[in-house]
Structure 1
């Protein structure tokens, strides 16, 4: 495989046609077609099905694209960094990965605090699922990651672990929005907007609300920001991580504590066995300071990881 072939493949995936990809790459349509055919020959399977001028990715094409996108992102970063070194300009960027909860709820405040101390720094941030964050850190694609627990993984070291209680998010005008603390029992009979991953926070939320049982079909989403927007539209009540709810609240919703403790665990991770650069240590500290502003926040050392999961086992694993 060659970079040019991968670029042509990614461009066709993004543009939806060979003609559009040719325009993006400023190459001829036959040249793009040839590169894609060469890549298909190298992989041994078709990447697209053809429908006149339009193309549709095969299942293999979708699976390969995820890896190609990741590789090309690193290639572009390498090219940009090589140019910076050649020109003698700019410090190396901070390469970060975070779940959307941390990226929305903590990272902006932490970066602002860091830049107040050290001045503007270049940053490259990728947000994604907890599993994606762990993979990027362990694989060396980024220098620092922030995600929900569990964080134990070969090639990773946890720098610190935080805990804060989940909250209820209600639309303005909801009768429960006037309560200083929302009883979990009051959610019985209400439609719940909840998270889709059943193996992390969602499982603890379901266990805590189980006595009431669902009164209406739930709405599932992989993003706390999406959940807030759905609540604002009057589609239900959400029980969410406190990072998004407190750090990036939407107009039109109210955030209230619950009378039951549903712990949300999160932390900062770095590649194992590598010394942490001062800027990265400073950012980790700034993230911890931002987290300390969360109501009910508690900090734990990395050695407490297994014990925290066991203590929460009555509700589920994170």
Structure 2
């Protein structure tokens, strides 16, 4: 398989039609169709069910798509870097982070190092914790910010950030009059929280369930979804503090929890890869940004990972 085939496949998966993919790629519809047919011939299975100009991806196509996109991102990065070397530009920053960190801590840290001279190009991408780890392991990014645990070999964990989780609720809720949200208060409320039971959700359950499980009415994959559900009046959101404090939203109140539920995140780079001056400055700026945004922020050594988690 070649780049032409992979780009055609990615475009059709994204747009949903061969004609639209050809228009986006600047190719003819027959050229895109042939690239897809050649790719399917090499793979030995169909990627699309065809119905005129529109196509429906098969289950195998969805499984392949994620891998193809990661590969294309890597190839585009190489192409861009080759051009930058020719223009003698500074190496760009490639930063990937979970949505909560990408939308709060990361931009604040980039602003802090701006005075020292940022590269011409900055690539900031949000992804799930598992995708952040994958990107760093495959060295397609300079730096990753992810929730913990992250015990994978092939990563350099520079330090761990810790800050207490919070409750988010409508500002006009009677609970907004409380200074602290207790477990007893939550017992009578619809709770909105995270769905990944191997990360933050596990610590929330352990700290608050005690003798009786909480009434978790809504489970979601991002803190922002949980916060907006709380804004709609669907319940009380229990989330990490970055989204609640780093993205203040009108009509919402943020309150501490009576039980300390620590949220942990880590700063990671590819194992053994030298850290450049700009990346090192960014690692330090991330700590400063976290201290500025998060109440009760504590920096911990990377060696504390296993004991904490």
Cα distance in 2 between the residues matched to 1:307 and 1:129 = 24
Q: Which residue of 2 aligns with 1:314?
A: none
For residue 103 of structure 2, give the secondary structure of its aligned residue in structure 1: helix
Q: Which residue of 1 aligns with 2:302?
A: 302
Q: Is the 8 A contact 2:94 2:122 kept in 1?
A: yes
Cα distance in 2 between the residues matched to 1:121 and 1:268 = 23
Cα distance in 2 between the residues matched to 1:299 and 1:174 = 34
Matched, 1:229 2:228: yes
Q: Is the 8 A contact 1:161 1:300 kept in 2?
A: yes
Q: Deviations over 1:108-156 (max 9, x none)?
A: 1100001023346521122111111111111111111111111221111
Q: Is the 8 A contact 1:160 1:300 kept in 2?
A: yes
Q: Which residue of 1 aligns with 2:246?
A: 247
Cα distance in 1 between the residues matched to 2:145 and 2:120 = 19
Q: Which residue of 1 aligns with 2:39?
A: 39
Cα distance in 2 between the residues matched to 1:290 and 1:87 = 32
Q: Deviations over 1:179-214 (max 9, x none)?
A: 121112101121111111111101111222214534
Q: Is the 8 A contact 1:151 1:269 kept in 2?
A: no
Q: CA deviation at 1:265?
A: 0.8
Aligned residue runs from structure 1 range 1-318, under 5 A: 1-88=1-88, 90-119=89-118, 121-211=120-210, 213-215=213-215, 218-293=217-292, 294-309=294-309
Bigger drift between 218-227 and 202-211 goes to 202-211
Cα distance in 1 between the residues matched to 2:254 and 2:284 = 26
Q: How many residues are paired up? A: 307
TM-score of the pair, normalised by structure 2: 0.95
Q: Is the 8 A contact 1:180 1:256 kept in 2?
A: yes
Cα distance in 2 between the residues matched to 1:99 and 1:111 = 16
- Give ranges in structure 2 of 5+ residues lacking alignment: none
Q: CA deviation at 1:85?
A: 2.4
Q: Deviations over 1:51-85 (max 9, x none)?
A: 23211100110011111111112222222222222
Q: CA deviation at 1:34?
A: 0.5
Q: CA deviation at 1:278?
A: 1.1
Cα distance in 2 between the residues matched to 1:213 and 1:189 = 12
Q: CA deviation at 1:91?
A: 1.6
Cα distance in 2 between the residues matched to 1:108 and 1:82 = 26
Q: Is the 8 A contact 1:228 1:250 kept in 2?
A: no
TM-score of the pair, normalised by structure 1: 0.93
Cα distance in 2 between the residues matched to 1:303 and 1:52 = 58
For residue 242 of structure 2, give the secondary structure of its aligned residue in structure 1: helix
Q: Is the 8 A contact 2:92 2:119 kept in 1?
A: no
Q: Which residue of 2 aligns with 1:313?
A: none
Q: Deviations over 1:36-65 (max 9, x none)?
A: 000001111111011232111001100111
For residue 91 of structure 2, give the secondary structure of its aligned residue in structure 1: coil
For residue 292 of structure 1, give the secondary structure of its aligned residue in structure 2: helix
Cα distance in 1 between the residues matched to 2:118 and 2:91 = 14
Cα distance in 2 between the residues matched to 1:191 and 1:282 = 43
Cα distance in 1 between the residues matched to 2:254 and 2:192 = 14
Q: Which runs of 4+ in 1 moved over 4 A?
A: none
Bigger drift between 290-299 and 130-139 goes to 290-299
Q: Is the 8 A contact 2:143 2:269 kept in 1?
A: yes
For residue 263 of structure 2, give the secondary structure of its aligned residue in structure 1: strand
